[in-house]
Amino acid sequence: MQEGKIIGLANHTILITAQGEERAIKDSAAPIRARDGTLLGAVLVFHDVTEKRQLTADLAYQATHDLLTGLPNRALFLDRLQHAVRAVTRQEALLLVGILDLDGFKQVNDRLGHDMGDILLREVARRTREALRTEDTIARLGGDEFGLVLPEIHHMEGAQQLANHLLQAIAEPMLLDGNSVTISGSLGSPSSLGMTVINRVCCDMPIWRFILPRMVSVTSTNSMKKP
C-alpha cells in the first residue's frame, strides 16, 4: 500500500456476514493519497463471487463423479488407478483391481421401474463405501458396473475377507417401494476396460486380479490360485 499499488487479498477469502453466513469474496485495496503524496487511507472493493465459485466447484465435481450415486466416475477411477500403480512400485503390498457387476439389477429395473433401480444403485453405493476402507476406491463405470482399486493389501487372506465383506453387504435385502429386493454381486477381471495400463501392470508388477463369483478365489498374474 505504501508503494501506491492496488493489492488484493488471498484467493478463496471468506467474508462472514452479521448473520453468520459465509460469502466468498474477491477484493482489492487501493491507496488514497493527499496531493503531497501522504497516505490518507484506502478504498476497499469487495465482489461477491459465491455463486461463481460454487459453479466452478460443481463443474469440477460433475467432471469426476457419477451424479446418481456420488461415486467417482470412470475418469477419476482411471486417475486413481494410475496413482495406485505408481505407488505399488514403492511398496511390498499388493494392489487389487476388479470389476463389480450387480446380478439381478436388470430384473429390478424391469419389475419395479427405473426410479427404483436408481434407488437401488444409490443404496449399493452407500453400502460399498461403508464396506471398504478409506483408502479404497469404488467407482461407477456405467449402468450396474463398478470399478475397484484396493491398494495396500498385505496378504491374500485380507483380500478374501475384504471381498467377502463387500459382497455380503450388497447381498443384504433392501426395501424398495414396499418390496423386499435381494441382489448379489460378482467380481471379475478388469480386462473389459480395455486399458493398456492394466495389461502392462499385470505383466510387470505384482498386481492381483479378483475372480470372484459367490465363493472367493483370487488369481494372480502368474496364475497362482488360492481357493
Same domain, residue pair 54 and 75: no
Q: Three-state DSSP class for 25?
A: strand
Lowest mean pLDDT among 17-31, 164-178, 208-222: 208-222
pTM of the full structure: 0.67
Q: Are residues 126 and 204 in the same domain?
A: yes
- Domain identity same for 42 and 82: no
Q: What is the pLDDT of residues 102-118, one digit of tens each?
A: 999 999 999 999 999 99
Predicted confidence at residue 137, as pLDDT, reads 95
Q: 71 falls in which pLDDT band (50, 70, 90)? A: very high
Same domain as 135, residue 116: yes
Say which CATH number the domain at 130 has: 3.30.70.270
Looking at the 3D structure of the chain, how many domains does it have? 2
At 133 the pLDDT is 93
Cα torsion angle, 117, 118, 119, 121, sign: positive
Lowest mean pLDDT among 50-64, 81-95, 188-202: 188-202
Options 36, 101, 144, 204, the catalytic residue: 144
For residue 135, give the 3-state DSSP assignment. Answer: coil
Read off the pLDDT of each residue in 41-48 and give the average, rounded to a whole number. 78
For residue 70, the cross-strand partners are none
73 & 126 share domain: yes
**Res 218 pLDDT > 70:** no
pLDDT value at residue 111: 92
The mean predicted confidence, pLDDT, of the chain is: 77
Buried b (16+ CB within 10 A) or exposed e, 74-92: bebbbebbeebbeebeeee
pLDDT of 205 above 50: no
- Can you give the CATH number for the domain in which 4 is found? 3.30.450.20
Range of the domain at 60: 1-64
pLDDT per position as a tens digit, 5-40: 555 556 677 778 788 888 887 777 778 888 887 877
Q: Are residues 32 and 91 in the same domain?
A: no
Best CA proximity match to 101, nearest among 183, 204, 203: 183
User: What is the amino acid identity at position 171?
Assistant: A
Domain co-membership, 26 together with 112? no
Cell numbers found for residue 173: 435385502
Verify whether residue 144 is a known catalytic residue.
yes
Q: Is 170 exposed, middle or buried (0-12, 13-18, 19+ CB in 10 A)?
A: buried
State the pLDDT confidence band at 126, using cuts at 50, 70 and 90.
Answer: very high
23, 47, 64 — which closes off a domain?
64
